[in-house]
Amino acid sequence: MSEQLAKTPLFEQHVEQGGKIVPFAGFEMPVQYTQGALKEYTAVREGGAGIFDITHMGQVRVSGHEALAFLQFVTTNDVSKLVNGQVQYSALLNDAGTFIDDITTYKISDTEYYLCINAANRLKDVQHLQAQAASFDVNIVDESDDTTLLALQGAAAQAALQPLVDSELENIGYYKFAQLQVAGTSGIISRTGYTGEDGFEIYIPNSIAVDVWEKLLANGAIPIGLAARDMLRTEMGYALYGHEISDAVTPVEAKLMWITKLDKGDFIGKAAVETRKNEGPRKRLIAIKLLGRGIPREHYKVFADGAESGEVTSGMHSPMAGGVALAYVKPEHAENGELSIEIRGKAVAAERTTLPFVRSNVRR
């Protein structure tokens, strides 16, 4: 018997907007709307504003006198560097140094933090955090079921959101957040996102989800489904759990040592990451651009000098950059060897490139 899929508080709105509903991370979610993924993508990339229902993500509140010490131990980044109102990209590792999840950490105060975790990993993450919390004076509360999370992305995002809040959004810097009144109710707004455009992520109670969604649509935002979201994400080269990161790779392979602070003190997975760093990665993540026609899809084989070297983890046809992909290859092929990707039985020539595949427009 298949497990029943959950619905976000905005499910009926997705249906009314013509959303094509598919299973995703245990939820019924819109993959695209009637206008199609390409037009949704274009709205975000070319000066408009797109609204994404990402309520399937999880939210966990960590509080208590040892909240900082706890987060320093369970996450890879240096939480002590955060100031109140700042957001940090980080990860949870296991003892083997591989990924349980990638997360964002919000510092509310010295004794209170807010974590955003991936949908498919929510239960695993919460169990892991609660198990580790037994050794600390902290309280772990999973607030996911009571919280709606919206992403509003694109150059017009601030103009669409400003009428709904009681403070100047201009004052919120990149990877910063504020606790504001949103449509008359307390919420959290951060200048963060997964698209490479300016925009916000909006945490609000389920009770006002429909009201906020409809007001943002009335202010010019258009609804965006999973397909366009993944296009935007891939163009930036942002890692996605189950693709670029998993329990099979460490931050060394995934090019995420920049969020893994080996000098901050002990944390889960540190010893294993240090060992892998000293030994060298078993494979390396690279960015690839096709030189011929085709779409490099996930799991397609990557060859170097005609020999199989790895596979695509995320790939697409970018309207702005053509065929692009992230892929793991053998370490010796990360910088050397003529690359190709096998597409429908044919080897299509490719080259290494730098990230992002298209220009980022985030406000720093």
Domain 11-57+145-236 CATH (choose: 3.90.180.10, 3.30.67.10, 3.30.1360.120, 3.30.200.20) = 3.30.1360.120
User: What is the bridge-based pairing of β-strands 58-63 and 199-205?
Assistant: unpaired
186-237 residue pLDDT tens: 999 999 999 999 999 999 999 999 999 999 999 999 999 999 999 999 999 9
Q: Please tell me the class of the 283-364 domain.
A: mainly beta
- Give me Rg for the CA atoms of the chain: 21
Please confirm whether the linkage preceding 205 is cis (ω < 30° from 0). no
Strands (E), 34-176: 50-53, 58-63, 87-93, 99-109, 112-117, 139-142, 147-153
Ranges of residues in the chain whose predicted pLDDT is under 50:
1-2
Do the Cβ atoms of 25 and 56 come closer than 8 Å?
yes
Residue of 316, 304, 299, 250 lying closest to 277 (CA atoms): 250
Q: How far is CA 202 from the centre of its chain?
A: 14
Domain positions in the chain are 11-57+145-236, 283-364
**DSSP string over 197-211:** SSEEEEEEEGGGHHH
Q: How far apart are CA 198 and CA 177, in angstroms?
A: 14
Contact 334, 292 (CB under 8 A): no
Q: At what angle do helices 122-133 and 67-74 cross, to 10 degrees?
A: 120
| CA–CA distance, 44 with 198 (Å, rounded to integer) | 9
* Residues composing the chain: 364
- The per-residue pLDDT for 3 is 67
Note the pTM of the prediction, 2 decimals. 0.96
- In the chain, the amino acid numbered 213 is W
Residue 1 has a pLDDT of 36
